[in-house]
Structure 1
């Protein structure tokens, strides 16, 4: 039997769960709180369950030990294993609950559910400890794992690989919170889901799925939206991957993939995996749901309209694309690399058009190229490398983050039900998470 002197046991609808009572010290002040880690909300996704929708976890037959270090879902590439968490498993659909007290009586706290980012190919709930927000905000924070890369977003044209497994994982985690959070003194009718980057897109995806009705009331999408061009795969994506893994000629390609180990599935060449319009989780594209009037998408649009949403971006979010440009333009130091006007008009603008705008033909592409050149060029210094770099990042920020954010709030506000908010964060941090040019002042 599980025993722990510093633990507190909560009786939940799925059985008893035991977590740790802890003291958090911040700026010399102590905060008492309770943490519950690695609670499984679904069965293992290994073996026959790989690539399928998640199966709800069976109730616990004895007290569950929620004091263990969280494990992570496999990323799409070994190179994406980051954050110091090297223990990966396909039995990864777990969540962590942070409670800002020692279970005082007659308390019903608001709940915030965090969905991490990482381009849908990397990330882990364990990389985002919830103690800070929980204690300072006096809210219960829940962080949720979901499948990534080919494990979470592979789809085949024949339907045998349905796609959006990662979105179904998120939904099941949100549903678990709704059904169990009251045992942790949380209010199941006062829930906000929030996320950043791919997590920001994910919370908007969840707001477009009417099966979440009643599970949350507010959405905070940080630097990401389902309406961003980078967040949706336009067509099934499985065939090239099946071929690369040698399963193309197998009697059953899906079973062939299931027979491979997670390490054999991970592949540096396939580092872009996204949600798809599967006509199940997503009845149509996010744009069609938000701005359309089709009866097939009415329930999704009505649910989206009913929520309060806050969407926004950082003023230099587009600097993320410097990673890709460093490989293409072959530079190692952004502070010394001289960007030419020919590179700006001949590569950066066409690349932006191809990735973000996706024009229907070459004529539209040429027109868009001229418009972007006119809009983003500083015509007093059209050949200056520094201004061209600023133009590059501004164009990337607008196309990948600001335009999707504005589109999301415009569509939501037009539906005239829930409250709508738009923000821009431009504070200059003391440190940057990623290598950043020294001429950037902001986030």
Structure 2
């Protein structure tokens, strides 16, 4: 079983609990624009009422499955908002799922965590789950300890994934970005409904990890989401990441169809009909998480400008370069060893990287010839590994390479562009805290903070699989408290360290990628540019070889109609 699948399944198993039947006094009924909703006092956190499984939109199904979400249902009798363990269709091993999890097409549900307080107009945190845009669900992580301050309402939610969420053919029935349009629909639902749950629709922060991090940055760049939120926390991912945008969505649709043994891919009408009629079990039968090119195939795309209600019609890079977006407060950062995400493939991939390193170049590079591609590949390999083959003695360089191609370069590039566009409310950090119980990198005595380690610091428990926070070391508990305070400060004030705080002062970052906050054994403001040498190396590569994403082409019928 591959890593991402294991993570998802084990986490799902970890949160399965047997709930006792709640008594009448454990229920809280609220009047909402959808109708009356009943939640219950959380059995694991008596400072919260939990409202699960609230439909924030209706999912188009069948042959309409790739269209934008439909309006949410309404009701007259009380809706019992209990956890139905609903997942959107995705690539998982069915028999390994807990028996009470349910995959279904109509999966667009929100979960709202409401503090047990009489105060109203509380700050709202909307959290977008990660999983490479191909796996995951809203309650993948838990944040109940973070909510003990009783001054934040939390919303988590599902959105369509993989081919279901991100098939992008540019047609009326498959325009693209269904999963991102789900996220916009959720934010509109928050604007309309969250006051009923005690939240302030004029005080909304969106946050996310990994693909969720890329999502919240894309939401900030999208005109369709403008005005729906007020602060942004991207954690280990960004809009410029290679896995965040399809370079050529029609080509990707053809590639994936071939993997499913559909061969008539050059007939666009037949290709669309295949995707509209193929069983969900077939469309979600192929694992997409182990590709060499640092993509998962399906992700957000550039839609055709003529598409109705488009989410994104321009490259994120172009938007950032022009500074054409609302410059909201942003708390952005990364872990110091993001590339540990790929450590489980090392024993296999080290040989393949030595055989043909160019296979492992990120998919957002383009070359005039195979000779030029090999030349650049050799240059990159030498930068990381010198004249040595990829092997056990330079595994840390392997980690650095995948840190940079997956996350670090794209995050820092966006930060640089923010500052150059006059965005003066961006706060940059690097998370490097590790405990003695964190395993060392194989073949070394070195420990590092893994992908989204900072999210683990904010969430409940020790890690994905152990929710018992009382087992944490004193050092880890102190670090969790500090990171939670930084995130809380930002949600409440737009600054991670407001004036008068006992924490080290934290100014906004400049175009030279400094200053930034180091979140290690201590909090330390650093003034040298973050990852300067590696970032400048990749910036030079991308300035020469960047492959800008394109929308799907118009069909002949569409072209005639547009004329």
TM range, smaller chain: 0.7 to 0.9
1:287 corresponds to 2:287: no
In 1, distance between residues paired with 2:368 and 2:206?
35
Q: What pairs up with 1:149-228 in 2 under 5 angstroms?
A: 149-156=162-169, 158=171, 160-228=173-241
Distance in 2 (CA, whole Å) between partners of 1:79 and 1:70 is 14
Q: Summarize the Cα distance change of 1:245–1:126 in structure 2 as closer, same or farther, 3 Å threshold.
A: farther
Contact 1:316 1:394 (C-alpha < 8 Å) held by counterparts:
yes
- 1:223–1:438 distance in 2 versus 1, CA, 3 Å: farther
Which residue number in structure 2 is paired with residue 368 of structure 1? Answer: 376
1:52-101 Cα offsets, whole Å, 9 max, x none, are: 11112132232211123331101135479768863111111001011122
1:437 corresponds to: 442
- Secondary structure, aligned partner of 1:8: strand
The match for 1:100 is 115
Q: Deviations along 1:374-430, whole A, 9 cap, x unmatched?
A: 432367xx4694442111111211222111110111111222245112211111146
CA offset at residue 49 of structure 1?
3.4
Alpha-carbon distance between aligned partners in 1 of 2:42 and 2:324, rounded to the nearest angstrom: 42
Distance in 2 separating the partners of 1:99 and 1:193? 17
CA shift in 2, pair 1:80/1:217, >3 Å: farther
Pick aligned residue for 1:121 from 120, 134, 139:
134
Q: Secondary structure at the match of 1:142?
A: strand
Choose from 423, 431, 434 the match for 1:428. 434
How many Å separate the matches in 2 of 1:221 and 1:420? Answer: 11
Maintained 8 Å contact 2:353/2:390: no
Q: Provide the residue aligned with 2:324 in structure 1.
A: 302
1-structure distance, mates of 2:241, 2:203 = 28
Q: Distance in 2 between matches of 1:374 and 1:251?
A: 46
Residue by residue over 1:286-306, the C-alpha shift from the partner in whole angstroms, topping out at 9 and shown as x without a partner, is 112111x4xxxxxxx533x42
Q: Determine if contact 2:159/2:183 at 8 Å carries over to the other structure.
A: yes
Distance in 1, Cα, partners of 2:367 & 2:353:
19
* Alignment counterpart, residue 302 of structure 2, candidates 273, 277, 282: 277
Of stretches 419-428 and 77-86 in structure 1, the one that deviates more from structure 2 is: 77-86
Q: Tell whether 2:28 aligns with 1:8.
A: yes
Report whether the alignment pairs 1:394 with 2:377.
no
CA gap 1:251/1:226 in 2 versus in 1, 3 angstroms: closer
Contact persistence 1:72–1:124 (CA under 8 A):
yes
TM-score normalised to the size of structure 2?
Answer: 0.66
Q: Distance between the aligned counterparts of 1:323 and 1:441, measured in 2?
A: 15
Task: Name the SS for the 1:98 alignment partner.
Answer: strand
Moved more, 174-183 or 368-377: 368-377
Matched, 1:42 2:57: yes
Q: Is the 8 A contact 1:378 1:387 kept in 2?
A: no
1:298 aligned partner: none
1:230 to 2:243 alignment: yes
Q: Which residue of 2 aligns with 1:332?
A: none
CA distance in 2 between partners of 1:84 and 1:441 (Å)? 36
Match of 2:336 in 1: 315
Contact 2:210 2:235 in 1 (8 A): yes
C-alpha distance 369-186 of structure 1, shift in aligned 2 (>3 A): same
Unaligned residue ranges in structure 2 (runs of 5+): 1-22, 290-295, 305-309, 450-563
**Secondary structure at the counterpart of residue 202 of structure 2:** strand
Q: Are the structure 2 counterparts of residues 122 and 435 from structure 1 closer, same or farther at C-alpha, using a change threshold of 3 Å?
A: farther
Q: Is the partner of 1:91 in helix, strand or coil?
A: coil
Matched, 1:263 2:281: yes
Tell me how far apart the structure 1 counterparts of residues 233 and 420 of structure 2 sit (CA, whole Å): 18
**Distance in structure 2 (CA, Å) of the matches to 1:84 and 1:411:** 47
Cα deviation for residue 160 of structure 1 reads: 3.7
The answer for the alignment partner of 1:73 in structure 2 is 88
Q: What secondary structure sits across from 1:230 in the alignment?
A: coil
**Any idea what the Cα deviations from partners look like across 1:334-359, whole Å, max 9, x if unmatched?**
xxxxx7xxx655444x2443445444
Cα offset, 1:315, TM superposition: 1.1
Paired with 1:317 and 1:37, the residues of 2 have a C-alpha distance of: 32
Say whether the 8 Å CA contact 1:250–1:256 is kept in structure 2: no
Q: 1:44 to 1:282 in 2, by over 3 A?
A: closer
Offset at 1:22? 3.2
Which 5+ residue runs of structure 1 have no aligned equivalent?
26-30, 294-300, 330-338
Change in Cα spacing, 1:383 to 1:77, as seen in structure 2 (3 Å) is closer
**1:144 shift after superposition:** 1.3
Q: TM-score, normalised by structure 1?
A: 0.82
Tell me the C-alpha RMSD between the 2 structures. 3.1
